[in-house]
Amino acid sequence: MFFKKYIKLRLIVFVLLVFVNSAGLSWHYGQEFKFIFFNVADVNASDIKLRYTRVISMAPNITETIFALGHEKDLIAITDFCKFPPQTKELQKVGGFFNPNLERIAVLKPDLVILQGKHEKVAKFCRHRGISILHVNMDSLDSIYDGILDLGKVFGCIDRAKSLCAHIRSELEQTRKNVSVHTRKKVFIGLGRSQGSMSGIYSVGGKSFLSELVKIAGGGQYLF
């Protein structure tokens, strides 16, 4: 009888763990369930602020936004490519997009890792470790504004996030007006190339925020 009850108990625990994992949750004995992914629109900002104070930023744009929002004190680590503002040199580094230092992330014990895009390698690692994840997609002007607002909700400073968005919009609109009297230029944007040659050139176009900024600044037709 005891053996049957033991088997039944183990089966219940197994089913419960399967449900937890499939729902994107992490469970540790003696702790409450913790969401790994969350939609900032559905979470109370004050609750988030109390919970996430050991944050790792996995992209320069995320790091700069957190500084602009005045919450750099909540950052415990950033990527090797986060160079601005100058205060970033005081923070610990955890590699980059292609070489994230997962061991270092584990040692630092963050309660939130913020990712640009999917970044599945780091996301999978965080899910396994029970670390909360926030994805942002700041790759166009509209999505940059959305990302700023999402981070404002996470850090409990939504009013400051709205002000930052308004300031950026105002600066861009002023630039647009300043260049409106000039003839538009043909523009080529080179992001990189093979070292020592003109082959393997990387450019940008389409809906990238770089393309949008070039147009605002007076650029017109692209040369590729």
CATH number of the domain encompassing residue 88: 3.40.50.1980
The Cα-based distances of 38 to 4, 6, 19, 24, 56 in angstroms read 39, 35, 17, 10, 16
Q: What is the dihedral of CA 15, 17, 21, 26, to 10 degrees?
A: 160
Task: Kindly state the percentage of the chain with pLDDT values over 90.
Answer: 56
pLDDT for 33 beyond 50:
no
Query: Mean pLDDT, to the nearest integer, of 129-136?
Result: 93
Per-residue pLDDT band at 125 (split at 50, 70, 90) = very high
CA atoms of 217 and 213, how far apart (whole Å): 6
Query: Mean pLDDT, to the nearest integer, of 186-195?
Result: 82
Nearest to 222 by CA among 185, 176, 179, 178: 185
pTM attached to this predicted model: 0.74
Tens of pLDDT, residues 135-150: 999 989 999 999 999 9
Task: Kindly state the percentage of the chain with pLDDT values over 70.
Answer: 75
* Same domain (yes/no): 117, 65: yes
Q: What is the pLDDT of residue 186?
A: 85
Strand partners, 190: 203
* Same domain (yes/no): 162, 194: no
* Same domain (yes/no): 207, 96: no
Total number of domains in the chain: 2
Q: Which domain holds residue 206?
A: 182-222
Mean pLDDT is lowest, of 18-22, 64-68, 201-205, for 18-22
60 three-class SS: helix
CA atoms of 64 and 66, how far apart (whole Å): 5
Tens of pLDDT, residues 103-120: 999 999 999 999 999 899
Tens of pLDDT, residues 65-91: 999 999 999 999 999 999 999 999 999
* Same domain (yes/no): 40, 129: yes
Query: Mean pLDDT, to the nearest integer, of 30-46?
Result: 41
Q: What is the pLDDT of residue 22?
A: 36
Query: Mean pLDDT, to the nearest integer, of 162-180?
Result: 95
133 three-class SS: strand
